Structure 1
């Protein structure tokens, strides 16, 4: 089944800007993305070309490029967070960035403005803020999980350095003993699960590497410190916790545990049937 047929079976609402007075740049980005993930389903190449035309002509004026990139990625990530984490349009956006990463204009083949996706890493770090327990509806929780899914997919194909975001999400969901309301707990588990669904292989390899001193300080927990910040012991603990939560809430916790088992070669969870994605 091609993307268009899937799309008709799994409708995606139009991506939208919620600013009172959105900039021309933001309006252009949302227009291009809507015609990429929705009808008329423009190609990644065509959409990359359209997005590239938004960049400033001069790269020599101090601050112009950095301001553009900050605004560009802020809008792009805001829109990506609106795409449900289980929707195929998430992967389409990842493929778009993969294409944009290598894009150059036909008349300037030597200019690789987007190589390395400049500004994306800092933009994700800037917007990485968990919803509070006092949100008025589910939307902030849903978008938080969606953003984790998008970042994990990028990390899984080496378009983003996401290991710190991943470990912090896993630590918060699976190692933290603080009291949490049910909504927050489910959100954290679903967010953490995205890293095992889309970048488990990269994370498993990381567990065999030696953490830097900065990693030891930033990524430690009361349970895992020093060398164990990256360790098979930590990996196994995460899998045990996902397995437990899989028996309680199912959904992504089951899928995450099974994904980890496929990567490390152990037996997947048995007797839980299909993997329904539970609601909050």
Structure 2
């Protein structure tokens, strides 16, 4: 069955349309297009590499649109669909692809980057996409999970350092909430209990996906005590700035607690129990 992807723009920029067409053709289940061939097509679209007389856009503008299209396409691919792995494989392939323009200067960042080795602007564009997507309804929850599953694969493959988003996903699901009980209070109360519903189901599934795809890496970082700036920990680990075995242990226990809590969706409880079991297995095998 064909993968149904769409370009969410009624009047797209012609280059973005071409980027979408490359991704759409490559990601189809019966496609014979290799990651290397798709990477070549993308490199050919880079402003300096295009063989036409049209005025060329700034390289930073091209890269911003390129990665934005990758991230928004990922949101349309179900979290467990094989196309998720194909998209991650394309990024991994791009990173080692020998561009005809090996170094690019991005004026807005006043810095030079290796193309494509540095995957310039992938991180900032992902941050922007991650910040705006929410959990307001079933469709948005699914897109959120798809986006995180894609990020976990990129991190797993060593293509980009997205560990901060792993921490944020696990913290959002497992590290409690700050609740302001009164309008004029300045000190929130820490709410450690779990509230059944769509938001919890979504947060747990996203956190579980991060463990499923790169739990071995997360455990290794926890054993090393690797810090991570920008860590938005939950109230239960508010002063934490990165990975630790104590935090890993908290995540395990909180998954276990979800699996024992009444009134939570049974599928969510099974997923939490399975993730806790996986974390135990990783500790024994890694």
TM-score norm. by structure 2 comes to: 0.77
- Report whether the alignment pairs 1:192 with 2:207: yes
Corresponding residue of 2:280: 261
Q: Please say if 1:241 is aligned against 2:219.
A: no
What residue number does 1:163 align with? 163
Matching of residue 52 in structure 1 with residue 43 in structure 2: yes
Instruction: Determine which of 62, 80, 93 is the counterpart of 2:87.
Output: 93
- Aligned partners of 2:26, 2:274: CA distance in 1, in Å? 29
Can you list the C-alpha shifts for 1:99-126, whole angstroms capped at 9, x where unaligned?
Answer: 1111115xx4966521121110011101
> Residue 20 of structure 2 corresponds to which residue in structure 1?
30
Q: Which residue of 123, 126, 133 corresponds with 1:124?
A: 126
- Report the 3-state secondary structure (helix = DSSP H, G, I; strand = E; otherwise coil) of the residue aligned with 2:217: helix
User: How far did 1:202 drift?
Assistant: 1.3
Name the structure 2 match of 1:21. 11
Equivalent position of 2:64 in the other structure: 70
Structure 1 distance, partners of 2:95, 2:26, is 17
Listed as ranges, the gaps of 5+ residues in structure 1 are 1-10, 267-280
CA deviation after TM superposition for structure 1 residue 241, in Å: 2.1
| CA deviation vs aligned residue, 1:132-152 (integer Å, no higher than 9, x gap) | 5544xx221101001111101
Counterpart for residue 208 of structure 1: 223
Give me the whole-angstrom Cα distance separating, in 2, the residues matched to 1:244 and 1:227. Answer: 21
SS of residue paired to 2:216? helix
Runs ≥4 residues deviating over 6 A: none
Following superposition, the deviation at residue 259 of structure 1 comes to 2.8
Is it true that 1:81 corresponds to 2:75 in the alignment? yes
Matched, 1:41 2:32: yes
The question of whether the paired residues in 1 share the 8 Å contact of 2:74 and 2:147 is answered with yes
Deviations 1:148-181, CA, capped at 9 Å, x for gaps: 1110111112212122111111111011245756
Q: Distance in 1 between matches of 2:88 and 2:251?
A: 26
| Deviation, structure 1 residue 243 | 2.9
- Structure showing the higher strand proportion among its residues: 2
**Aligned-pair distance for 1:244?**
3.6
Q: Tell me if structure 1 keeps the 8 A contact 2:36–2:93.
A: yes
Kindly provide the CA deviation profile for residues 24-79 of structure 1, in whole angstroms up to 9, marking residues without a partner as x: 122112211122121433111111111111111179x9981111111111111100
Note the residue ranges of structure 2 that are not aligned, 5 or more in a row: 104-113, 178-190, 261-265
Q: Which moved more, 1:114-123 or 1:253-262?
A: 253-262
Give the match for residue 4 of structure 1: none
Give the alignment's Cα RMSD to 1 decimal: 2.8
**TM-score, normalized by length of structure 1?**
0.78
Alignment check: 8 A CA contact 1:98 1:159 kept: yes
CA distance in 1, matches of 2:270, 2:13: 39
